[in-house]
Amino acid sequence: MNSLYALAPLSIIVLASIIILLLEVFLKKENKNYLGYISVFFLTACFIFCFMSWGKDYSYFNGSLLLDNFALFFFMILTIGTLLIILMSLNYISLMDANHGEFFALLLLALSGMFIMISSTDFLVIFLGLEVLSISSYALAGLKKKDEQSSEASVKYFLLGSFASAFLVFGLAFLFGAFKTTDILGIIDGFNKPTELGLLAIFGLGMVIISFAFKIAFVPFHMWTPDVYQGSPTPVTAFFSVGPKAVGFVVLIRILYPYWHSLFDSNVLFTILWIVSALTMIFGNLIALRQTNVKRILAYSSIAHAGYILVGILAMDNASCVFYLTVYLFMNIGAFTAITAMTKKGKEYVELEDYAGAGFNHPWIGAAFAVFLFSLAGFPPLGGFLAKFYVFAAAVKEGLISLVVIGILASLVSVYYYLRIVVFMYMHRSAGKLDIQQENPALLIVLFLCLYGVLQLGIFPGNILVFIRDAVGSLPF
């Protein structure tokens, strides 16, 4: 249905970020938390709008902006994710002497970039959304201006991110050359009709996939991830580990799903993605074993999780991928919230030794962190277990037995480094109590919400699964 409503979620978010930027320069109040509350208000409005327009299929700009259920579902979970990140960082920003207005506005702009990518059906618009997302992300990574690690993270993310964008542009040029259009459906039609330009098109598609592999951080395109995740401010790291990854998978599903059967039967792309998935699971988990920095451990863990989700894509089962991404959002944001809590003025505690005894000194945070780590490792009855189960079950049904065996072995390895953090928290004697500034209500709310999400998705996933089936069913074929 062609309607201006299709622009509403995007406009709400962009408007919010502009209002916050202007308020930030015009009103110089001491307590800038009100900017956070304003963004929470707008995000809630956006969420409610998305919920109301479920199933209505609004579209605009001749259908190149399409709010089908698939897009709306990701709008909603990414809105929730951003909301959680804003709540958890209310206190963190003042502790780190960063600028409130810049942080919230950039976060919302990044969210708007993700909205553009998710809801668009034209590759040019996807590219523009990707750039809105990436350019805001580069600035977000360097938000702690006095911290050298933060600036290094920023410059590394910038160089490798724009390197990946150049691949996307070049690949798009070749797809355009082969099919005379940048529309996804047009490209799909082109692939289904063999032409003499087939090689050109495959080359272009390969470049596009490489560029998204950079963004999602598949091995061997993962080298920027650990450094960027370690150096960025912790809430921003939580955002990077969830947002761009989810959006990358959405675009991959959108471009691969319609010609899975024609492309995957030809085996070249299938074999490449199979190898990438196996490598991602193996290397992500193995390198995580010898890390001592908690943020780096979670960075490698996020690489490994991308590998598991790719198994779902190879099994041609969208619903399990979407479910995995949903669970992953809650457990990863939860884990990073716990790390954000371990902060005092101007200092973050991110080394494993810092967590010695933290489970007893800070019982709430420690317990919640342990639950999230168990979920990431895939223990039942938590969400992480069910997510892995669905993905691997779908893969077994498609006969990808060896890939599933690799995945299960890799996740067994991963148990070691997740539990290592728990062991440090509960079985090591602390040198002294960490003087962290916790008991911050917003942070505890986020921890509680993430716990609720992980448990709900792990024990009673029924309601969400209905939503996800509805969402996946709306994909055009």
Partner 1 sequence: MIPTSYFIVLSALLFVLGIVAFFVKKDLITQFLSIEVMLNAGNLAFIAFAKAHGLIEGQIIVFFIITVAAAEAAVGLAIILLIYKQKKTIKSEDVNLMKG
Partner 2 sequence: MTEIFLVFLIYGLLGVIMVLVNKILGPKKTNPVKLKPFECGSPYLQDRIYPVPIKYYLVAFLFLLFDVEVVYFFPWALVFRELGTAGVVFMSVYVALLALGFVYAWKKGAFQWEG
434 binds, among partner 1, partner 2, none (CB under 5 to 8 A by kind): none
Backbone angles phi, psi at 221, to 5 degrees: -110, 30
Q: Given the complex with partner 2, which of 106 and 403 has the nearer CB atom?
A: 106
Residue 475 binds to partner 1 (criterion: CB under 8 A): no
Residue from 2, 62, 180, 261 binding partner 1 (CB under 8 A): 180
- String of DSSP letters for 86-155: HHHHHHHHHHTT--HHHHHHHHHHHHHHHHHHHHB-BHHHHHHHHHHHHHHHHHHHT-STT-HHHHHHHH
Residue 25 binds to partner 2 (criterion: CB under 8 A): yes
Beta bridge partners of 344: 347
21 binds, among partner 2, partner 1, none (CB under 5 to 8 A by kind): partner 2
Tokens of 146: 């006095």
Residue from 78, 133, 153, 443 binding partner 1 (CB under 8 A): 153
383 binds, among partner 2, partner 1, none (CB under 5 to 8 A by kind): none
128 binds, among partner 1, partner 2, none (CB under 5 to 8 A by kind): partner 1
Going by DSSP bridges, is the β-strand pair 347-348/65-67 parallel, antiparallel, or unpaired? Answer: unpaired
Whole-angstrom distance between the N-terminal and C-terminal Cα of the chain? 18
At closest approach, how far in Å is the CB of 441 from partner 1? 33
Distance, in Å, from the CA atom of 285 to the CA atom of 278, rounded to the nearest integer, reads 11
User: Segment 219-258, which members bind partner 2 (CB under 8 A)?
Assistant: none
Residue 27 binds to partner 2 (criterion: CB under 8 A): no
Residue from 68, 227, 317, 348 binding partner 1 (CB under 8 A): 227
Residue 18 binds to partner 2 (criterion: CB under 8 A): yes
Select from 14-22, 78-86, 264-272, 346-354 the region that touches partner 2 (CB under 8 A): 14-22
91 binds, among partner 1, partner 2, none (CB under 5 to 8 A by kind): none
Tokens of 373: 């780590």
Residue 4 binds to partner 2 (criterion: CB under 8 A): no
The Cα-based distances of 302 to 67, 241, 309, 414 in angstroms read 28, 7, 11, 11
Going by DSSP bridges, is the β-strand pair 343-344/65-67 parallel, antiparallel, or unpaired? Answer: unpaired
At closest approach, how far in Å is the CB of 79 from partner 2? 22
Residue from 7, 38, 45, 155 binding partner 1 (CB under 8 A): 155
Select from 8-16, 77-85, 107-115, 224-232 the region that touches partner 1 (CB under 8 A): 224-232
E strand or H helix at 67 = strand 65-67
Going by DSSP bridges, is the β-strand pair 343-344/347-348 parallel, antiparallel, or unpaired? Answer: antiparallel
25 binds, among partner 1, partner 2, none (CB under 5 to 8 A by kind): partner 2
**Cβ(350)–Cβ(343) below 8 Å:** no
**Cβ(350)–Cβ(469) below 8 Å:** no
- String of DSSP letters for 333-399: HHHHHHHHHSEETTEE--BGGGGTTHHHHSHHHHHHHHHHHHHHHT-TTSHHHHHHHHHHHHHHHTT
Residue from 89, 211, 285, 291 binding partner 1 (CB under 8 A): 291
Q: Given the complex with partner 1, which of 170 and 379 has the nearer CB atom?
A: 170
Q: Given the complex with partner 1, which of 36 and 231 has the nearer CB atom?
A: 231
Distance, in Å, from the CA atom of 262 to the CA atom of 154, rounded to the nearest integer, reads 40
**Cβ(181)–Cβ(187) below 8 Å:** yes
**Cβ(138)–Cβ(154) below 8 Å:** yes
Residue 337 binds to partner 1 (criterion: CB under 8 A): no
Task: Say which amino acid occupies 474.
Answer: S
Q: Given the complex with partner 2, which of 18 and 459 has the nearer CB atom?
A: 18
At closest approach, how far in Å is the CB of 290 from partner 1? 8
Residue from 22, 52, 401, 412 binding partner 2 (CB under 8 A): 22
Select from 3-11, 67-75, 284-292, 340-348 the region that touches partner 1 (CB under 8 A): 284-292
Q: Is 263 helix (H, G, I), strand (E, B) or coil?
A: helix
Nearest to 253 by CA among 317, 170, 193, 210: 317
**Cβ(319)–Cβ(236) below 8 Å:** no
Residue 293 binds to partner 1 (criterion: CB under 8 A): yes
Residue from 32, 245, 254, 296 binding partner 1 (CB under 8 A): 296
Residue from 51, 163, 360, 416 binding partner 1 (CB under 8 A): 163
At closest approach, how far in Å is the CB of 104 from partner 1? 18
The Cα-based distances of 203 to 13, 172, 210 in angstroms read 36, 10, 11
Residues touching partner 1, count (CB under 8 A): 44
Q: Can you give the binding site for partner 1, defined by CB under 8 A?
A: 124, 127-128, 131, 134-135, 138-139, 142, 145, 148-149, 151-156, 158-159, 162-163, 165-167, 169-170, 172-174, 176-177, 180-182, 226-227, 230-231, 290-293, 296
Q: Can you give the binding site for partner 2, defined by CB under 8 A?
A: 18, 21-22, 25-26
